[in-house]
Amino acid sequence: MRRLLVVAALAGTCAAAAAAPAAATNECKGLQVCVPVAGPWVLAAPGLVQFQLSCPKRFIVGGLDAEVSSRGIEVGFVGSLGSPVNPGVTTTSSAVFLGRLVRGRDPAPAFRPHLGCIPASGGGGRVPTAYHAFPPSRPSARRVTVVFVHDGTRRRVTARCARGEHLLTATHAIGFPAQPTAAEAHAVLVTQHTARRGVTLTIASHTGAVVQIDLVCGAL
């Protein structure tokens, strides 16, 4: 069991990826066996936006990278405590990317997450690095719901924690198959209402997109 730790992505990598084609990303650099996985273009905001991207079955995350629409977008990911810092310890079969707009006036700020996936057998074991009265644990669970929308979509979607859980935090992200224009960025309107065990989103879309609901739930 591990406690989640926010690990900042390399600033130089993000800067170099700005407005670059997918072929210029480095998620598989240095990995002998690697399956690249590219996510959609996710709208960024001054507030933190979370988006989970997963490897194929029997693969774990071995490398990460991102494309950004402008240099004012900061991208990181959520990792786990443990030593050494490597696939199978810091990462699992999926990664939660964290993006936010920290400066500039990009009319459609967005980032595109990338994973370099390696066979799961390549992960190492966990070795404690410091004494704790209780070892770091993961007392929360992440529940992800994905909703595909298109031009003319008007619907309400509810996502809830499982029985015996309560809601800790709830966020949503909007993704596009290609880097969005300013018009596309404003063509998907989402309103979020939070309840004790989950959230309800009201979605109105005038373009094709994906809306990801990300719940962090704790045991009662």
Q: What percent of the chain has pLDDT over 70?
A: 81
Q: Does residue 146 surpass a pLDDT of 70?
A: yes
Asked if 83 and 153 sit in the same domain, the reply is no
Give 130's DSSP letter: S
DSSP string, 49-66: EEEEEEPPTTEEEEEEEE
Please indicate, yes or no, if residue 88 is contained in any of the structural domains. yes
**Residue at 134 is within a domain:** no
Does 20 share its domain with 108?
Answer: yes
pLDDT of 37 higher than 60: yes
Shared domain check, 12 and 106: yes
Q: Which of 88, 122, 156 is the last residue of a domain?
A: 122
Count of domains for the chain: 2
Position 131 in a domain = no
Domain span at residue 46? Answer: 4-122
Q: Which amino acid is at 96?
A: V
Element counts in the chain: helices (H) and strands (E): 2, 14
* pLDDT tens sequence across 50-104: 999 999 999 999 999 999 999 999 999 998 887 787 888 889 999 999 999 999 8
Same domain membership, residue 151 and residue 117: no
Single-letter amino acid code for the residue at 129: T
Q: Are residues 97 and 153 in the same domain?
A: no
85 and 191, same structural domain?
A: no
Residue that is last in its domain, among 87, 122, 157? 122
pTM of the entire predicted model: 0.80
- Whether 173 and 117 share a structural domain: no
Residue 188 lies in a domain: yes
61 located within any domain: yes
* 127 vs 204, residue with greater confidence: 204
- How would residue 140 be classed by pLDDT, with cut points 50, 70 and 90? confident
CA distances from 7 to 57, 182, 193 (A): 24, 30, 29
* Percent of the chain clearing pLDDT 90 (strictly above): 66
Same domain? 29 vs 109: yes
Say which range, 4-18, 31-45, 98-112, has the weakest mean pLDDT.
Answer: 4-18
Q: Do 116 and 155 lie in a common domain?
A: no
Q: Does the pLDDT at position 27 exceed 90?
A: yes
pLDDT value at 213 more than 70? yes
Same domain, residue pair 105 and 163: no
Distance between CA atoms of residues 56 and 117, nearest Å? 8
Residue 133, pLDDT score: 47
Residues 29 and 105 in one domain: yes
Domain boundary among 122, 148, 168: 122
Q: Are residues 18 and 74 in the same domain?
A: yes
Please say if the pLDDT value at position 126 is more than 70. Answer: no
Residue 17 pLDDT grade (very low, low, confident, very high; cuts 50, 70, 90): very low
CA dist 94 and 82 (Å) reads 17
Strands 110-119 and 140-149: unpaired
Residue 138 binned pLDDT confidence (cut-offs 50, 70, 90): low
Q: Is 133 contained in some domain? A: no
For position 125, what pLDDT does the model report? 40
DSSP SS3 for 31: coil
* Tokens representing residue 181 in the block: 């224009």
User: Does residue 31 belong to any structural domain of this protein?
Assistant: yes
Question: Given a cut of 70, is residue 166 above it in pLDDT?
Answer: yes
Assigned domain for 75 exists: yes
